[in-house]
Homo-oligomer: A and B are copies of this chain.
């Protein structure tokens, strides 16, 4: 396997965390702290290889993991760093199946980095892919669950070594409800690992290449800054994204509700968008963009907000009055656009009964 993929170097971590934050579509938590933890592990000698799906045969066992909780909690409640590892070990014990590789539940935000930090501790490779191609607020919103990953066993662990295992659980929505309630009791943020998957299933259900995609996006931002190039322009090219709006944030309404950051950001347009007003609905992530009350983009497509000058990704817990921003859009992966997927991650799944995805898709 050593000839497959590439080893993540210390110099890759900042670009990777920037790219993950962009793909976080406002949520998924800020990858900065996870990046620092991973950097310490790599400096201490840990080596993590990012491998393509082809690197493993069908008999290999893969665990998906990531943090669960409201991103805004993660700003003040710092992780210990081994929460997901405890959840993983609990599942390995329960199932008797050791992990051959890890994969991210969601590439967007801190969970794009998390499997790398855990892989560094466990001595495992990380698959170049994930289950969202972005960030989503709920457990069941991965292509893994959408296309048939077992709902159990799954485990949640906190920073004090407490581990809660769900086994059996009847639906992925039940798993979300139970894991969320436990996470709230654990202080609003925890590590989660879901049922083991075989590589044959991963090849069918996972979104390939997203670690590399995040790395490429992050590198474009870093390089453009270094060469004083137009960051936004480079970002649009490298991410193959569409500019949807530019302006200044005029208001943010945000509250903690059932373990989620829920709210709305308002943006007064400038440049080509002067005189227009944009509105972005938030549940951890950016869900819907309206410009002058017309829907411009909606989940599962990616609605990403970056600081206009620097390309710095703006997460929902950091968006604030006065920020000059650009809103850019990216079509969701085809695996997120099937009828089966839209039931779970389309506008209706988030309570927007009146928004038809196919009418507004990017």
| A residues at B contact (CB < 8 Å) | 90, 160-170, 174, 177-178, 180-182, 184-186
Besides A162-B169, A178-B182, 10 new A-B residue pairs in contact (Cβ under 8 A), listed by A number: A160-B174, A161-B168, A162-B168, A163-B169, A164-B167, A164-B182, A165-B166, A178-B186, A181-B182, A181-B184
Asked if residues A167 and B165 are in contact (CB atoms below 8 Å), the reply is yes
Instruction: Classify the interface of chain A: helix, strand, loop or mixed.
Output: mixed
The answer for the CA separation of A280 and B180 in the assembled complex, in Å, is: 35
Q: Are A90 and B164 touching (Cβ within 8 A)?
A: no
A165 touches B162 (CB 8 A): no
Q: Do B167 and A163 touch (CB < 8 A)?
A: yes
- Residues of B with C-beta under 8 A to A182: 164, 178, 181-182
Contact assessment for A160 and B165 in the assembled complex, using a CB-CB cutoff below 8 Å: no
B164, B168, B181: the one contacting A166 at CB < 8 Å is B164
Asked whether, in the complex, the Cβ of A170 is within 8 Å of the Cβ of B181, the reply is no
In Å, the complex CA distance between A167 and B166 comes to 11
A160, A161, A170, A182 — which one has the most chain B CB atoms within 10 A of its CB?
A182
Given contacts A181-B181, A185-B181, contact A170 B174 (CB under 8 A): no
Residues of B within 8 A of A178 (CB): 162, 164, 182, 185-186
Report the Cα distance A177→B169, complex, angstroms. 20
- Measured CB to CB, the closest approach of chain B to A91, in angstroms, equals 11
A87 CB, nearest partner CB in chain B, Å: 12
Q: Is the beta-carbon distance between B166 and A161 smaller than 8 angstroms? A: no
A169 contact set on B, CB distance < 8 A: 162-163
Report the minimum CB–CB distance from A167 to chain B (whole Å).
6
Contacts of A184 in B (CB 8 A): 181
**Most chain B C-beta atoms within 10 Å of own C-beta, residue among A164, A168, A169:** A164
